[in-house]
Amino acid sequence: MSYHDPVMLTECIEGLQINPAGIYVDATFGGGGHAREIIKIINTTGHLYGFDQDEDALANTLDTENFTFVQQNFRYLDKALRLNGVRKVDGILGDLGVSSHQLDVAERGFSYRFDAELDMRMNQGGEKKADEVINTYSAEELQSVFSRYGELRNSKTLAQAIVNDRKIRKIRTIGDLLKVVDPLIRGQRNKYLSQVFQAIRIEVNEEMEVLKDFLTASLKVLKPGGRLVIMSYHSLEDRLVKNFFKSGNFDGELEKDFYGNINRPFKLITRKAVSASAEELKINSRSRSARLRIAEKLAEPNG
């Protein structure tokens, strides 16, 4: 199965500061590109857990005793690790976003490049599909999705156009949706459609809530001194990661204890998001929008 080349591979591996005997998590296993590099470093007493809810990723599992594939959404990180007898880990890697494999398989419905049913589920066993969002959400709900997750300026017009069109016939396929969207495009077509599809995909997969759950669970299971390495691909994700690294919450508000001391959960290893090098940009187009942040968990307040 064709998966993308791992983005910022060297930066991610260096950011994890891998202890060969440590326990690590690749929370977004996908094609296993990052995982293969981690496995090269850890020894027989170390272990890597690879999470992916997409059953297609099963084809890429690593045939080694110190690797365990967990077919689970990474929002359940702490619970799934406990089921595997693990309570604390030395490092966690998360490469957010859609894989090239998911985009390139037409029937998954992630890309406007193909005509297929409106699906967009990252977990193929999930109940909610994109066609449910398009055909059952009210105009107000659709406007909210396109505005919040796609940051589209004409989200109200687009939402109303969808509602009007589906009164005549159900919008079942990507082609059906494009017939509604194309006359309303503002600016560059590819960028606009990417924003529309991103918004629907985020809603279908509850990506913002999933990311919040994952980050909260990561803080819980990381050992003091453990590294959290996260790559995001759009500003909504990056803002959540930035705020959480700074403050341990998603508003970015620093909290103080009874004595007025600021409670910081992490030491920031990267003060600003890291972008891919010019060399990588030439050979890996997916790296263009990637933003890498690295943080190290501080000691628990009670020692």
| pLDDT digits 0-9 by tens, 242-283 | 999 999 999 988 888 888 888 899 999 999 999 999 999 998
Closest CA to 205 of 109, 98, 121: 121
Q: How far apart, in Å, do the first and last CA atoms of the chain sit?
A: 46
Q: CA 84, CA 78: separation in Å to the nearest integer?
A: 10
Chain centre distance of CA 293: 13
pTM given for the model = 0.91
Query: What average pLDDT does the chain have?
Result: 91
Query: pLDDT class for 108, splitting at 50, 70, 90?
Result: confident
User: Residue 142 half-sphere exposure, CB side, CA atoms within 13 Å?
Assistant: 24
Residues 270-299, mean pLDDT to the nearest whole number: 93
In the chain, % of residues over pLDDT 90 = 77
Pairing relationship of beta strands 47-51 and 67-70 according to DSSP bridges: parallel
Helix (H) or strand (E) segment spanning residue 170: none
Query: pLDDT class for 284, splitting at 50, 70, 90?
Result: confident
Q: CA 171, CA 196: separation in Å to the nearest integer?
A: 15
Instruction: Show contacts of 208-213: CB within 8 Å, 24+ apart.
Output: 208/149, 208/236, 208/237, 208/240, 209/75, 210/73, 210/74, 210/75, 211/96, 211/237, 211/240, 211/241, 212/240, 212/250, 213/75, 213/76
Residue 302 pLDDT more than 50?
Answer: no
Considering only residues 165 and 125, tell me which one the structure prediction assigns the higher pLDDT: 165
- What confidence score (pLDDT) does residue 303 get? 43
Contact 37, 60 (CB under 8 A): no
Chain centre distance of CA 190: 21
Q: CA 40, CA 142: separation in Å to the nearest integer?
A: 46
The full set of domains in the chain, from first to last, is 101-205 (1.10.150.170)
Q: CA 34, CA 40: separation in Å to the nearest integer?
A: 10
Spatial CB neighbours of 84, under 8 Å, sequence gap ≥ 6: 49, 68, 70
Residue 183 pLDDT more than 70?
Answer: yes
